[in-house]
Structure 1
Amino acid sequence: MFTEFEIKGEAEEPYVDIQIYPKALKLLNNLESWVRYALTEFRNLKSSYAKTMFRLIKQFRTTGYSYFSKEDFFELLDIPKSYWNSPSNVDKKVIKPIREELTPLFRGLTIRKKYGKGRGKPVIGYSFTWKPERKDANDFSQGKFQDERQKLFNIQHNDELSDKEKWRAIDKVKCLPLGTTEKQVLAEKQAEHDQKIRDQARQEALAELRKGFGKHA
């Protein structure tokens, strides 16, 4: 790509002169059409389906929309042919891990099935939507703390996920054993419930005491 370069180290503000192979100019002038992503994000994905879909929809990162026919969806993700007539397997084994693992990375991620006409209204495709990225957006790591904060925000503000899916997604982001966040949330809810019961019992006891004092006044 680079045919020659010269380092200007003695200049007041050092710089490098680079000559680019003419036929490579279009590659540098159209960077917004390239598929780009942080390798750490890709490497941290566990599901092979999530990894493949991550690469695919990153091609449309600035549009916020991508659609795949059922045929393309199965071929691109290398989904077993036995799933073709088993929507429940596709939902559980393919869509669910994609939704859980990519929601932290794509704000407002929504996955919708497109149904065709005819008997049973068969699924004929899948659409993915999310908040588009700006062409000049810095979508690489901002540091571990900031990255995790953004991922948790995306999870907590996505209404497409059930509570259990959110808890699993949080566990994956924090590298916790699956079920950790669920146990913590349920324990907090139980503690809150128990506190309400104690407060109610205390209020009832005080009310009885007031009645007793009133009778002896």
Structure 2
Amino acid sequence: MAIRKRPVQKIIKIDNRFNDDPIFEPIDSLPEINSNIFWLIAAQVKDQGDNRITLSPDQIKREVGYNSHISNKQIAKNVDETFSRLLTIQLSKEEKDEKTGHVNKIRENIFKRSVVDTNTLETSVEVSDSFLYLFNHLEHWTRFSITQYVRLHSNYSRKLFRLLKQWRTVGKKEYKIDEFRKRLQIPKSYRPTDIDRRVLTLCMEELCANFQNFKITKNYRKGVRGRKLDSYIFTWVPEKNNQQDVYYDSSIEDTNSVYYIKSNPYMDEKQKFRALDRFYGFTLGTSEKEYKEGHLHSYFLPNKLHKRQRRTAFHRSDLKSLTQYRHAQFAQLLSVYQEVYEKGFLTPEDKEDLALLKMGYEKSAEDRERDQKAEKERLKSLENRTKEMQAKRDEGHYSIDFSHAGQDLNDSLSLFDPTDF
């Protein structure tokens, strides 16, 4: 079996049947660290068939929210524990043996093989044949980033987040009260007021960072004496089809998330402060206290994190250098900065960062044009030389087709129209 080593994939993409099949419900009840490890692995096995996927402990530590002091041995122990818990997820089926005619009862786990090397502490995993459909050749799928997921700490928020991401380009999803209880595995003893306090409040404060203008509406049954709760309606601004999938970058995602929280028209200031604390992992009350103390350095980054040493020309310590962003990524950042600028909320330091982003956007456009032109010229020269060689070959055993050369050079995956800036 081939071992595939490649950069860590940040985007999880899984078949929608995962959301509907009760066999996978135990995953939503996993302890937080085990759940994070499972979804990190799910991101790596996407479109990899039955190849063995290997992750180092450093890669796992970096992506799933471990504290810096956690040892690699502890990580390996958590990984092994995760696989042990996943053994409860089994597919049971019956198959007839063609030779004997006997009916065999078969049980298969989601991962047919997991290995934790006790020396290198590397983790390797292979998906079972019966579960390949979850991660490969997907027609109807749910997509989200591992960074977004590990920042959610409520099991209710995590499950609802994944369910709503299935409808991310629609911008609306309604659940009847009974279905909502079942989907989120809410105890039967919870009354609607308990759901408000223990489920919806948390979901609102955690998910508003991932859905622009996120709103939860209660729908009451008509024609019934009194107010009988019928369903919950979740709405948000629909995402573009290629949003947060192409040219993914965590600093861009964080920029969007903070803007989504602060600009949400359906939350009061108190809720927004709590949402920011949950997003950053702060003690509740930290963001409100910082705001009251005044002199925020950035709209997008709390002073507590802004104090870190600057690594680049940007004032924001979480932004990368100008040379590390692609043209489409500059466009993503500029789009948000422009909206906040027009509302008058950018700080002086943010405005200086905005000027740098504009410079980077213009420079990256020039570089992209130059590179595309050079590549087209190179392909044209290669095509001409090849035609000359072919003309000299009387037998014509070799032929190279350049009819499609250069067609993928245009940045068709750009998420914004450059003419917007």
Which residue number in structure 2 is paired with residue 124 of structure 1?
230
What CA distance in whole angstroms lies between the structure 2 residues aligned with 1:104 and 1:126? 19
CA offset at residue 173 of structure 1?
1.9
**Secondary structure at 2:143's aligned position in 1?**
coil
Which residue number in structure 1 is paired with residue 130 of structure 2?
none
CA offset at residue 126 of structure 1?
0.5
What CA distance in whole angstroms lies between the structure 2 residues aligned with 1:36 and 1:177? 30
Which residue number in structure 2 is paired with residue 115 of structure 1?
220
Aligned partner (choices 204, 207, 212) of residue 99 of structure 1? 204
Which residue number in structure 2 is paired with residue 213 of structure 1?
none
What CA distance in whole angstroms lies between the structure 2 residues aligned with 1:99 and 1:49? 11
Q: In structure 1, give the amino acid aligned to 2:277.
A: D
CA offset at residue 147 of structure 1?
2.1
Aligned residues: 163
Aligned partners of 1:100 and 1:166 also within 8 Å: yes
Aligned partner (choices 192, 196, 200) of residue 87 of structure 1? 192
What CA distance in whole angstroms lies between the structure 2 residues aligned with 1:46 and 1:135? 27
State yes or no: 1:175 paired with 2:281.
yes
Which residue number in structure 2 is paired with residue 73 of structure 1?
180
C-alpha distance after superposition, 1:9-61 (max 9, x if no partner): xxxxxxxxxxxxxxx8xx7473xx31111122112210111001011111111
Which residue number in structure 2 is paired with residue 146 of structure 1?
252
Q: Go from structure 1 to structure 2 and tell me whether the alpha carbon gap of 1:112 and 1:2 turns closer, same or farther (over 3 Å shift).
A: closer
Q: In structure 2, give the amino acid aligned to 1:45.
A: L
- Normalising by the residue count of structure 2, what TM-score does the alignment of the two structures yield? 0.36
State yes or no: 1:184 paired with 2:290.
yes
What CA distance in whole angstroms lies between the structure 1 residues aligned with 2:160 and 2:246? 18
C-alpha distance after superposition, 1:125-172 (max 9, x if no partner): 001111111222234784343222211100111011121110011112
**Secondary structure at 1:36's aligned position in 2?**
strand
What CA distance in whole angstroms lies between the structure 1 residues aligned with 2:188 and 2:48? 46
Identity of aligned residues (%): 33
Answer with 102-111 or 132-141: which moved more. Answer: 132-141
Which residue number in structure 1 is paired with residue 380 of structure 2?
none
C-alpha distance after superposition, 1:85-125 (max 9, x if no partner): x3221111110110110100011111111101322211110
Q: Go from structure 1 to structure 2 and tell me whether the alpha carbon gap of 1:143 and 1:2 turns closer, same or farther (over 3 Å shift).
A: closer
What CA distance in whole angstroms lies between the structure 1 residues aligned with 2:138 and 2:155? 32
Cα RMSD (Å) of the superposition? 2.4
State yes or no: 1:52 paired with 2:159.
yes
C-alpha distance after superposition, 1:148-206 (max 9, x if no partner): 221110011101112111001111222222110111223339xxxxxxxxxxxxxxxxx
What CA distance in whole angstroms lies between the structure 1 residues aligned with 2:294 and 2:274? 17
State yes or no: 1:162 paired with 2:265.
no
RCO comparison, higher one (Cα < 8 Å, 6+): 1
What CA distance in whole angstroms lies between the structure 1 residues aligned with 2:184 and 2:172? 18
Aligned partners of 1:141 and 1:147 also within 8 Å: no
**Secondary structure at 2:142's aligned position in 1?**
coil
Q: In structure 1, give the amino acid aligned to 2:166.
A: Q
Gaps (5+ residues) in structure 2? Answer: 1-46, 50-132, 296-421
Pair member with larger Rg: 1
Gaps (5+ residues) in structure 1? Answer: 4-23, 190-217
Q: In structure 1, give the amino acid aligned to 2:167.
A: F
What CA distance in whole angstroms lies between the structure 2 residues aligned with 1:140 and 1:96? 32
What CA distance in whole angstroms lies between the structure 1 residues aligned with 2:189 and 2:143? 33
